[in-house]
């Protein structure tokens, strides 16, 4: 009888000790369990798995989602909206409920393409340079109208947040370098980026001139009927030609890098627009915890019994 009472007493004690670790009344009680460094630490709050756990409802890109967005049944992200506008000009204006802009876009693009094609036919027939100019202007006008439709769709895209939207900032800088920085309020960066573009364009132009010069010298020196009597041999001209061609290509690579960095800068600083940079970032929090024994074999009854303790949490 005494042995039975002893066993019963131990069972009741163990049940009370572990009570906080098990489900109670439909809630998951998650006591913060201490332990050795690196052990899994849980918050000391009660969580209802049906009400507090939220599923990720963000849908990925699909043509179905794109179509539902354009017919007004779903909300499209700025990037998806721009992609649809790039595929079908005017789609962004339809999404923004600015239908009256669609005929203007197609009218401008159609007029530019028609001008380009008709003047190209006349240029081929007559060889007159003015038709070549009109042809180029027509194609440029069509391209600018298309570019303007993308820009207009992005500008007219409305959001409920007051901080810069990273997607819009990225699109702005992709369509017009520096515009994303202006959208973020970083106006002082615009001259820096455009100085980089101008410098790349300048070096490209100068290296291209020298490349064509030495290419011509190399060609003349190899032609016995050219009458070339310059002081640069064909071998030297080839070396200079290849060198300036390489420098010209480096200028193109530098231009692409400056453009990419301009887009990345706009995206990153738009994300950081609502980042907390105040002085009160670090907090210290004390709370009672249940601490598991480091080694269950040290327990007098060879069963790990949690103990009460105090835990300090530093957030920064």
DSSP string, 88-153: STTHHHHHTT-TTHHHHHHHHHHHHHHHHHHHHHHHHHH--HHHHHHHHHHHHHHHHHHHHHHHHH
Asked if 48 and 27 touch (Cβ cutoff 8 Å), the reply is: yes
Work out the number of other CB atoms within 10 angstroms of the CB of residue 157: 19
What pLDDT was estimated at residue 168? 85
**Span 7-12, average pLDDT:** 48
If we measure between CA atoms, which residue out of 277, 83, 293 comes closest to residue 170? 83
Asked if 171 and 262 touch (Cβ cutoff 8 Å), the reply is: no
What pLDDT was estimated at residue 73? 65
Query: Residue 286: which H helix or E strand, with range?
Result: strand 283-291
What pLDDT was estimated at residue 38? 42
> Given a cut of 60, is residue 23 above it in pLDDT?
no
Per-range mean pLDDT, top range of 14-18, 44-48, 232-236, 290-294 = 232-236
pLDDT, tens digit (0-9, with 9 covering 90-100), for 49-77? 444 434 444 445 566 666 666 666 667 77
Query: Hey, is 42 helix, strand or coil?
Result: coil
Task: Choose between 253 and 41: higher pLDDT.
Answer: 253
End-to-end CA distance of the chain: give it in Å, rounded: 58
Residue 47 DSSP symbol: E
Q: How far is C-alpha 218 from the geometric centre of its chain's CA atoms?
A: 47
What pLDDT was estimated at residue 163? 59
User: pTM of the full predicted structure?
Assistant: 0.60
Query: Hey, is 308 helix, strand or coil?
Result: strand
Where does residue 284 rank: exposed (0-12), middle (13-18), buried (19+ CB within 10 A)? exposed
- Please spell the DSSP secondary structure of 201-258, one letter per residue: HHHHHHHHHHHHHHHHHHHHHH-TTS----SS-HHHHHHHHHHHHHHHHHHHHHHHHH
pLDDT, tens digit (0-9, with 9 covering 90-100), for 164-191? 778 888 888 999 999 999 988 889 999 9
What pLDDT was estimated at residue 81? 78
Query: Residue 38: which H helix or E strand, with range?
Result: none
């Amino acid at each position: 009888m005494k042995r039975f009472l002893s066993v019963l007493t131990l069972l009741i004690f163990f049940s009370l000790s572990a009570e906080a670790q098990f489900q109670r009344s439909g809630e998951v009680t998650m006591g913060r369990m201490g332990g050795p460094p690196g052990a899994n630490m849980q918050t000391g709050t009660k969580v209802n798995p049906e009400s507090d756990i939220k599923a990720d409802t963000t849908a990925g890109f699909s043509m179905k989602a794109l179509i539902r967005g354009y017919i007004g049944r779903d909300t499209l992200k700025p990037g998806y909206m721009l992609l649809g506008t790039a595929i079908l000009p005017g789609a962004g204006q339809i999404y923004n409920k600015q239908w009256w802009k669609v005929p203007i876009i197609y009218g401008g693009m159609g007029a530019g393409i028609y001008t380009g094609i008709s003047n190209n036919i006349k240029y081929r027939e007559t060889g007159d340079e003015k038709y070549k100019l009109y042809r180029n202007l027509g194609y440029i006008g069509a391209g600018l109208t298309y570019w303007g439709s993308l820009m207009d769709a992005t500008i007219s895209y409305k959001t409920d947040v007051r901080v810069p939207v990273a997607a819009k900032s990225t699109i702005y800088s992709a369509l017009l370098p520096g515009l994303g920085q202006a959208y973020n309020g970083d106006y002082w960066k615009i001259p820096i980026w455009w100085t980089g573009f101008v410098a790349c364009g300048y070096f490209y132009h100068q290296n291209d001139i020298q490349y064509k010069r030495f290419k011509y010298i190399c060609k003349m020196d190899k032609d016995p009927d050219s009458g070339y009597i310059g002081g640069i041999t064909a071998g030297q001209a080839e070396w200079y030609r290849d060198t300036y061609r390489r420098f010209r290509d480096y200028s193109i690579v530098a231009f692409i890098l400056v453009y990419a960095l301009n887009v990345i800068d706009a995206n990153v600083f738009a994300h950081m627009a609502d980042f907390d940079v105040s002085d009160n970032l670090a907090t210290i929090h004390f709370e009672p915890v249940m601490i598991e024994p480091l080694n269950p074999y040290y327990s007098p009854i060879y069963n790990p019994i949690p103990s009460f303790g105090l835990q300090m949490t530093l957030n920064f």
